[in-house]
Amino acid sequence: MGDGNQGQLFPDAAVGAPSYDDADSDAFGYRGPTACAAAGITYRQLDYWARTGLVAPSVRTATGSGTQRLYSFRDILVLKVVKRLLDTGVSLQNIRKAVDHLRTRGVKELSNITLLSDGATVYECTSAEEVVDLLAGGQGVFGIAVSGALRELSGELAELPAERVDGAPVQADDELSARRRRRASA
């Protein structure tokens, strides 16, 4: 790590993970029930978080009855991280602060982040030195390697349906679509 380049804090957490630049697109998204299944949350949580702006769908918002919200890959990744933070006892108020920092990042950037928390404050770490400093100061109690959540999510979404914003069939040229095709033909 002495070369000045930033690497993944836990590189083994993303072994075998493809590039997610293509998946991080607003051309297609996932409906609410799919987002819930992939993130491990209830539809009630999803709806509340969308209405309060915690994690709003970035592909398409609901514009009245009959329209479906569409969540991007990145949105669902953030939902999954929010769920993990909630499960460890972090307050929704502190999670909102963490999400404000996460929502501006691309998927590739997110894969290099580890979140540490003492149960109250959430700290973003992008290097082993930052982790050591936090632990030495007594702040860090648990951590979430976003790259691990990213790897899990890609596997889960490969088994779930996506939808294009323009209504056209989802292109089968990305890895997630190829997995769906293989599963459907099996």
pLDDT digits (tens, 9 = 90+) for 141-168: 677 778 778 888 887 887 777 777 766 6
CATH architecture of 18-164: Orthogonal Bundle (1.10)
Q: What is the mean pLDDT of residues 28-33?
A: 88
**pLDDT over 60 at 17, yes or no:** no
**pLDDT over 80 at 70, yes or no:** yes
Q: Residue 45's pLDDT is what? A: 95
Q: What is the mean pLDDT of residues 158-181?
A: 64
Q: Residue 167's pLDDT is what? A: 66
Q: What is the mean pLDDT of residues 11-16?
A: 40
**pLDDT over 70 at 172, yes or no:** no
Write out pLDDT tens, residues 73-130: 889 999 998 998 888 888 888 888 888 877 777 777 887 888 888 777 788 888 888 8
Q: Where are the beta strands (DSSP E) in the chain?
A: 28-29, 114-117, 122-125, 142-145, 163-164
Report the mean per-residue pLDDT for the chain.
75
Which has the higher per-residue pLDDT, 17 or 184? 184
Cα→Cα distances 136→126, 177, 186, Å: 16, 44, 51
Which has the higher per-residue pLDDT, 60 or 177? 60
Rounded Cα distance between 102 and 96, Å, is 10
Which has the higher per-residue pLDDT, 15 or 65? 65
**pLDDT over 50 at 15, yes or no:** no
Give the whole-number percent of the chain exceeding pLDDT 90: 15
Say if CB 36 and CB 42 are below 8 A apart.
Answer: yes
